[in-house]
């Protein structure tokens, strides 16, 4: 019975693995109860966040599980068609195996355009892309669960979520998730461990816990939160990536510049705060003496007034780095003058 799978998903406590962590069963029920003659299912395999590689790993190793999870969702919803919305690099490498996994199922493999970038993975941008419209976020509400593809109720889940649904249906789900480990460590890659393991435990289990002064970024190398080495007894956030940074190796201003460049490059230009704000932030960093007070103010404005999650997430890495790392390390442990460090920290306090 169709009700059996939703009960199993609820019992398993499944939540989205794309970063939003929305309860899977609740989303499915929202699409099921939404009015509309046609319904669609989308597997979001765009994975554009730097430092996150788990979707590729899953699709490369378990394509049949992902397709099976989609088929279960389509059957539950009575959906007439599904889409695997996939990163162009992944499409190039995996299209053959995915076509074999899909077989005769009514699932289309839709390659995300090269120029779509990170914002092309935002769920409403993906809807626009599939419909042949400009690749940019939509105003919400309405949400895709009620008005998605061509105005019809649409379920959009991450690759790992559909993989987990397949395990739940087979009675094989063990409350694990995939973690991407990157950075200044020996054994980078994708690992599967219990979902409640802490960052510290994962790094130690994979023999990646450094013997030097370090900090980490959890949840992606663009929008992930930066944590000091004493803050790692917590679970990962977002897409469950962990990037290790050597304190002595990385210059503070270069790190801030790199995080900012990602958002500047990936801004779709639709809203003024993100388009102009990221550009102005780069201008400030290019000046001989950066106005850090102005820099901090513009970052705050981005988080409060941007149209979509890209601009809203822009301050996370910088502000958490200043709060959790830059303000706490001894002067001799970090590549920045004490006077400049004090100035930056005061502007972000």
Domain limits at 123? 2-169
Listing DSSP states for 181-201 in one string gives EEESSS--EEEEEETT--HHH
Q: Are residues 153 and 28 in the same domain?
A: yes
As given in the structure block, the two tokens for residue 327 are 């303000």
* Structure tokens, 228: 């000091």
Q: Do 104 and 6 sit in the same domain of this protein?
A: yes
Which residue, 189, 217, 246, sits at the end of a domain? 246
pTM for the structure as a whole: 0.94
Task: For the chain, state the CA radius of gyration.
Answer: 21
φ and ψ at 15, to 5 degrees?
-135, 160
CB 10 within 8 A of CB 231: no
- Which residue, of 199, 217, 246, is where some domain finishes? 246
- Of the ranges 83-97, 262-276, 316-330, which is most confident? 83-97
CATH number for the domain harbouring residue 295: 1.20.1440.230
Are residues 9 and 81 both part of a single domain? yes
Contacts of 219 (CB under 8 A, 6+ apart): 19, 225, 236, 237, 238, 239, 240, 241
At 91, which CATH number?
3.40.50.11540
**CATH number of the CATH domain containing 187:** 3.10.20.600
Asked if residue 83 and residue 189 are part of one domain, the reply reads no
Are residues 216 and 86 part of one domain?
no
Average pLDDT over residues 143-171: 97
Give per-residue pLDDT as tens, 183-221.
999 999 999 999 999 999 999 999 999 999 999 999 999
- What is the pLDDT, as a whole number, of residue 307? 77
Cα–Cα distance for residue pair 215/35, rounded to 1 Å:
48
Quick one: 67 and 23 in the same domain? yes
Q: What is the pLDDT of residue 22?
A: 87
For residues 72-89, average pLDDT:
96
Checking if the pLDDT of 1 tops 60, the result is: no
Shared domain check, 47 and 94: yes
Shared domain for 28 and 49, answered yes or no, is yes
Query: Do 301 and 231 share a domain, yes or no?
Result: no
Residues 145 and 22 in one domain: yes
Q: Which residues contact 250 (CB under 8 A, 6 or more apart)?
A: 335
Q: How many domains does the chain fold into? A: 3
**89 pLDDT tier (thresholds 50, 70, 90):** very high
Q: Which of 169, 188, 206 lies at the terminal end of a domain, its last residue?
A: 169
């Amino acid at each position: 019975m169709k009700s059996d799978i939703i009960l199993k998903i609820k019992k398993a406590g499944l939540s989205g693995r794309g970063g939003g962590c929305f309860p899977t069963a609740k989303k499915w029920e929202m699409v099921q109860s939404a009015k509309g003659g046609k319904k669609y299912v989308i597997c979001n395999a765009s994975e554009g966040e730097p430092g996150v590689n788990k979707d590729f790993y899953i699709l490369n190793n378990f394509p049949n599980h992902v397709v099976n999870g989609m088929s279960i969702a389509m059957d539950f919803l009575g959906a007439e068609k599904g889409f695997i919305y996939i990163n162009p690099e992944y499409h190039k490498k995996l299209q053959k195996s995915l076509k074999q996994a899909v077989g005769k199922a009514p699932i289309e493999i839709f390659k995300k355009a090269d120029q779509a970038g990170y914002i092309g993975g935002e769920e409403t941008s993906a809807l626009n892309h599939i419909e042949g419209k400009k690749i940019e976020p939509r105003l919400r509400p309405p949400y895709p669960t009620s008005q998605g593809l061509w105005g019809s109720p649409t379920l959009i889940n991450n690759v790992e979520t559909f993989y987990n649904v397949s395990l739940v249906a087979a009675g094989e789900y063990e409350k694990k998730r995939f973690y991407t480990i990157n950075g200044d460590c020996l054994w980078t890659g994708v690992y599967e461990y219990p979902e409640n393991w802490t960052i510290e435990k994962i790094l130690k289990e994979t023999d990646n816990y450094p013997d030097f002064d370090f900090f980490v970024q959890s949840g992606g190398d663009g929008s992930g939160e930066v944590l000091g080495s004493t803050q790692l007894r917590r679970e990962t956030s977002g897409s469950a990536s962990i990037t290790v940074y050597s304190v002595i190796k990385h210059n503070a201003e270069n790190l801030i510049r790199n995080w900012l460049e990602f958002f500047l490059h990936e801004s779709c230009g639709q809203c003024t705060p993100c388009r102009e704000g990221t550009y102005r932030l780069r201008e400030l960093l290019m000046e001989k003496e950066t106005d850090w007070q102005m820099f901090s103010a513009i970052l705050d404005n981005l988080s409060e007034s941007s149209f979509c999650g890209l601009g809203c997430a822009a301050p996370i890495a910088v502000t958490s780095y200043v709060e959790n790392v830059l303000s706490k390390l001894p002067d001799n442990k970090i590549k920045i003058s004490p006077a400049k460090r004090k100035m930056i920290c005061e502007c972000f306090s």
